[in-house]
Amino acid sequence: MPESQILLVENEESVASFIYTELSFEGYTVEVAYDGEEALRKFSADENNWDLILLDWMLPKLDGLEVCRRIRKKSHVPIIILTARDQIGDKVAGLDGGADDYMTKPFEIEELLARVRVGLRHKKNLEKQSDRMVFHFEDLTVNLEKRSVERAGKIFYLTQREFDLLTVLIKHQRKVMTREQLLSEVWGYDFMGQTNIVDVYIRYLRNKIDRGQEHPLIQTVRGVGYSLDLMKAEDE
């Protein structure tokens, strides 16, 4: 496996040194930034070559959540937030801000390394796209190359995970996808996050592409999963 390039953003030098050593031992190429502004500078200097970002929330100069939001406007690189903030509201804010995963401190290094592997594997899987790069369903268009989403002339901004979930649904349009299938294809079969994560992100997608629309496209099939179809959605 070729070396993956990871940007580690952590203001505590002892923590940064420990994580840097462990990642390097695993064969990853790692650069460290110690504050939010430095993180953005290093990201911009090598924007297209980062494979994953480990991002502390509580940073000097610019906090990690703002760094995450700014990076997400330019890139779909996997971002894992590392923080001592463990309230559910903080986790929701982190995921809504564009993070792909969220780990609370203190954590076991083995779990961090496992989540890094999941993030990197997911990125590589996305890069193995078929030759078909543009998918249409009714008035919805998903462009894989540009990673853009448009419906009825309106362009939508989606986080990486939202985009990946919608991509799976539109590739399998009119077919019911179980929660287990979606979890495997979008998050990886060994995802270690919350079990209701599929339902959470389906809700995020609906709030964006179906809100205010006469004909919702994302349908719930009770007891099974979800589909991209024009059938009348069942109540969950």
Q: Which long-range contacts (CB under 8 A, 24 or more apart) does 39-47 make?
A: 39/7, 39/9, 39/67, 40/67, 40/70, 40/71, 42/7, 43/7, 43/71, 43/75, 46/5, 47/74, 47/75
* Residue pLDDT, tens place only, 204-236: 999 999 988 888 999 998 888 999 998 654 444
**Cis ω before 60 (30° cut-off from 0):** no
Q: Which CATH code fits 134-228? A: 1.10.10.10
Domain 5-120 has CATH 3.40.50.2300: yes
d(CA 96, CA 93): 5
pTM: 0.59
Domain boundaries, the chain: 5-120, 134-228
* Residue pLDDT, tens place only, 19-42: 999 999 999 999 999 999 999 999
